[in-house]
Amino acid sequence: MKKILVVLPVEQRHKDMLEAAAPGWEFLYALPEQVSAEQVAGAEVIIGNIAPALIAGASELRLFQLNSAGADAYLKPGVLREDVLLCNATGAYSKAVAEHGLAMTLALQKKLPLYRDGQNAHVWRARGTVTSIADATVLVVGLGDIGLHYARMAKALGATVVGLKRRPGEKPEGVDELYTTDRLDELLPRADVIFSVLPGTPETTHLYTAERFRLMKRSAVFVNCGRGSAVETEALRRALADGEIAAAAVDVTEDEPLPPDSPLWDLENLLITPHVAGGYFLPETFERIVGIAAKNLALWLDGKTPSTVVDRKTGYKK
């Protein structure tokens, strides 16, 4: 019997949804840390991320549905056969990550991390002037589902929103100006807030260099909820330490977990969260992932193209 391996912490209602999409198939369920090479080897469909090292043994694999939006770990040479259809979970994380990014943005603008530090030290002290997202120019770098969700929230709060994406297209609702990413250097000096939500690809690696931080306003705040590889760590540290930008917030870092001896921990104007914007911390995200997987599975079995096929050259949804 044809086998589908589900590597997700599903409940019975999730199993019912997935199994309804593929009647007649045998379903196997395992947690990521418990999945075996034998289970992987016999599966024609895998739903959920597994260790890339296990993929080499997936000789029967035809459809690989990720539970993540990012696919970079599986796009490295030799990891996944070219004939395997790769799908991601684009759309599942937009609410969770965009809201996390907006919360970080407002916290930086109002200096809330400094006041939390003061609370921990039992110090009652004002920390000077703040900024506002209303009437600010917000540059969203990576205008996919997450970026667009963030853009629309910032717009609703009164910001002028400038979006950057790889390919030209029609300007979506909630975005005042739309450009392609080759205009980044031109637009950085205009931005009061830079929100970056780029995937990890060769083109995005170390996109934010020392030179680009120097293009930003000294009053700017920089928020990264995409991939840590997009930022040169030392360039960010220096930009914050030298006051080239006002503050930054990162949910992702080049090295994860961030080493305890990293100098980033000691920067007063840097807010760090441990890659928790996405994941399943917002329960709705997991429900969306299962829904996407079930829909894509049904489309594939019906001979149609799933909705979140990954372009292997770019790492983005096609």
Quote the tokens at residue 302.
Answer: 């019906």
DSSP-derived secondary structure for 250-279: ES--SSSSPPTT-GGGG-TTEEE--S-SST
Active site residues: 227, 256, 275
Contact 28/50 with Cβ under 8 angstroms? no
User: What is residue 128's DSSP assignment?
Assistant: -
DSSP 63-93: EEE-SSS--GGGSSTTSS-TTSEEE--TTSS
Calpha distance 213→241 (Å, rounded)? 12
d(CA 239, CA 93) in angstroms, rounded, equals: 30
Q: Is 119 in contact with 174 (CB distance < 8 Å)?
A: no
Q: Which two tokens stand for residue 147?
A: 């970026």
Measured CA to CA in angstroms, residue 249 lies from 159, 166, 231, 292 at distances of: 19, 24, 12, 30
Q: For 288-311, give one letter per residue: b (16+ CB within 10 A) or e.
A: bbbbbbbebbebbbeeeebebbbe
Peptide bond into 257 cis (omega under 30): yes
